[in-house]
Structure 1
Amino acid sequence: MRRETGIALALCLLCALAGCATGGTGGAGTTALDRTANGATTTGTAGAGANGTVGVGTDTGFAGTLNATVVDVADGDTVDVRLANGSEETIRLVGVDTPEVWVENTPREFRGLANTSANRDCLRGWGHEASDYTASRLSGADVTLAFDPNTDRRGYYGRLLAYVYVNGTNHNAALIDRGLARVYDDSDFSRKPAFQRAEGAAYENRTGLWTCATGATDGGTSGTDDSAGGTDDGSTNEGSADGTSASDGPIAVDVHADAAGRDDENLNDEYVVLRNTGDATLDLGGARVSDAADHVYTFPDGVTLAPGASLTLHTGTGTDGGGDYYWAAGSAVWNNGGDTVTVRAANGTTLATHTYE
């Protein structure tokens, strides 16, 4: 009797062990979070999910994905999410680096930017733009986190490294396309070549933060390098105090962003003044004025600006003439807290960039 009982107990134990190896809460068809010895969580995929959560779109090579809800946006490339199991994680967007808003930027990390105070200020402004863009798209959104096969699941600070998809769009890639981030070259993520090509296009078109490099070439000639001679004493020419770079084109820009009363109810008191600081008349026919959010106004054909002359572009409606032009935007364009004005000729030549805070 005792021998039979012992055999039965041994068989039960073997069955239990077999069940632990093949089933349980982390069984096939789920993307699970595993606990390490020190209590940190790491993600792991246990088979292809029935709802297709392994791979997003063409990303079938990824180790797996997780569904989550964004609960907070720290800055342009860092968000906090709540996973399906109720736990919260900080996500660092893999492969991208948006300009800093809480600490000092290092312009030389960005192609074409010298280490000047003007460039640091310009980058900080675009850091805020990147943060606002990420917040507008991701705050409260249901997203999918996809992991790259070439990178660790967690970075140095224990944050999950992931691509964030919202409504099927890769938000990491969108930041690069819009010039709101640089490629994080220190990482060997699998999408680096594609991201680098997108960054190159944004740089050539002076999109987003790359307006800070106007007039610069790789190696940095935008303004005078504060670090020349190995010091950063701030004693060299750093551009104007309002954030305009030292080489921002032949047009000077002045912005009246805060209209009297409510901006949306007094659109014609929100305006931009453009002044020709060069020696030649500028042809502005077909020239475009844009803000950091890609709102665009195009001047009608035949508009010119003589040396020393200026014109005013109002946000509201009216009849063009006498140096006044009207965007007819329908709502306020220029952010009271800071924005970037970019003016490009019809052929794409940058005539002015002006960042204000």
Structure 2
Amino acid sequence: MRWKAVLILTITVVVSGCLSVTVNSSSAPETENRSVTVTEVIDGDTVDLNYSSREERIRLDGIDTPEVHVENDAAEYPGIPETQEGEACLKKWGERASSFVKNETKVGKNTTLSYNLENGKPERGSYGRILGEIFYKNSSLNRQLVVKGYARTYSKESPYLKEEETAIQNSDGLWSCQSLS
């Protein structure tokens, strides 16, 4: 009788081991890097690229530059006055961010795009754009935009929070608009 209990217990342990769920200990998303060609700079945080033999619109992940094609909301930028002057200042810095991206990426030049994968496909934002990070001259364009004060970070988990804090403290780029208040 005892051997039956041991047999049942052994079978139960073996079967439950086979059915156990494997948990991925890494919380970092899977990423992919691709060589791409810049076809157009839309603004400071949106670029069109030739990606896998087709044109794709890329949204620079984790950052936000002031708008150039629509009005800015100064409330999205801490410390910037919510006035016409504040919004005009942001637009000026949005135009400068766009110029910086155009100068650094150069239409027709190859660059590297890094993006997270969701179910084996590039992660996309709410407007259907691929969310990615562009590398040029061995440096992250996303990071450089924050360092120079052309962009703000989007989240408290951003890898560029220290760079943003330094830009704010130094009144670099768009953060110089704080002096209007």
Alignment CA distance shift 1:139-1:126 (3 Å): same
Does the 8 Å CA contact 1:62/1:146 hold for their aligned counterparts?
Answer: no
Question: Greater Rg, structure 1 or structure 2?
Answer: 1
CA shift, 1:207, in A, is: 0.4
Higher helix share: 2
User: Is 1:163 the equivalent of 2:128?
Assistant: no
TM-score normalised according to structure 1 size: 0.40
Letter in 1 for 2:53: G
Of 120, 132, 136, the residue aligned with 2:103 is 136
Aligned to 1:147: 115
Does the 8 Å CA contact 1:79/1:92 hold for their aligned counterparts?
Answer: yes
- Provide Cα deviations, 1:272-315, integer angstroms capped at 9, x if missing partner: xxxxxxxxxxxxxxxxxxxxxxxxxxxxxxxxxxxxxxxxxxxx
Does the 8 Å CA contact 1:67/1:145 hold for their aligned counterparts?
Answer: yes
Aligned to 1:77: 45
User: Is 1:115 the equivalent of 2:115?
Assistant: no
Aligned-pair Cα RMSD in Å: 2.0
- Provide Cα deviations, 1:164-201, integer angstroms capped at 9, x if missing partner: 0012110000000000001113xx7x6x1x31111110
TM-score normalised according to structure 2 size: 0.77
**Which 5+ residue runs of structure 2 have no aligned equivalent?**
1-27
- Deviating beyond 3 angstroms after TM superposition, the runs of 4 or more aligned structure 1 residues are none
2:30, 2:149 → 1: CA distance?
26
- Provide Cα deviations, 1:199-252, integer angstroms capped at 9, x if missing partner: 11000000011110026xxxxxx1xxxxxxxxxxxxxxxxxxxxxxxxxxxxxx
User: Is 1:214 the equivalent of 2:179?
Assistant: yes
Structure 2 counterpart SS, 1:173? helix
CA shift, 1:86, in A, is: 1.5
**Which 5+ residue runs of structure 1 have no aligned equivalent?**
1-59, 216-221, 223-357
Alignment CA distance shift 1:76-1:155 (3 Å): same
2:29, 2:69 → 1: CA distance?
35
Does the 8 Å CA contact 2:38/2:111 hold for their aligned counterparts?
Answer: yes
CA shift, 1:91, in A, is: 0.3
Does the 8 Å CA contact 2:112/2:136 hold for their aligned counterparts?
Answer: yes
Aligned to 2:91: 124
Aligned to 1:345: none
- Provide Cα deviations, 1:1-34, integer angstroms capped at 9, x if missing partner: xxxxxxxxxxxxxxxxxxxxxxxxxxxxxxxxxx
Letter in 2 for 1:171: L
Any residues of structure 2 matched to 1:30-41 within 5 Å, and which? none
CA shift, 1:61, in A, is: 6.4
1:73, 1:118 → 2: CA distance?
26
Does the 8 Å CA contact 2:41/2:47 hold for their aligned counterparts?
Answer: yes
Query: How many residues are paired up?
Result: 150
Any residues of structure 2 matched to 1:1-357 within 5 Å, and which? 62-83=30-51, 85-140=52-107, 141-148=109-116, 153-185=123-155, 192=158, 194-214=159-179, 222=181
Letter in 1 for 2:45: D
Does the 8 Å CA contact 1:144/1:166 hold for their aligned counterparts?
Answer: yes
Aligned to 1:346: none
Aligned to 2:21: none
1:119, 1:182 → 2: CA distance?
15
CA shift, 1:136, in A, is: 0.5
CA shift, 1:148, in A, is: 3.9
Does the 8 Å CA contact 2:32/2:117 hold for their aligned counterparts?
Answer: no
Aligned to 1:55: none
Letter in 2 for 1:139: K
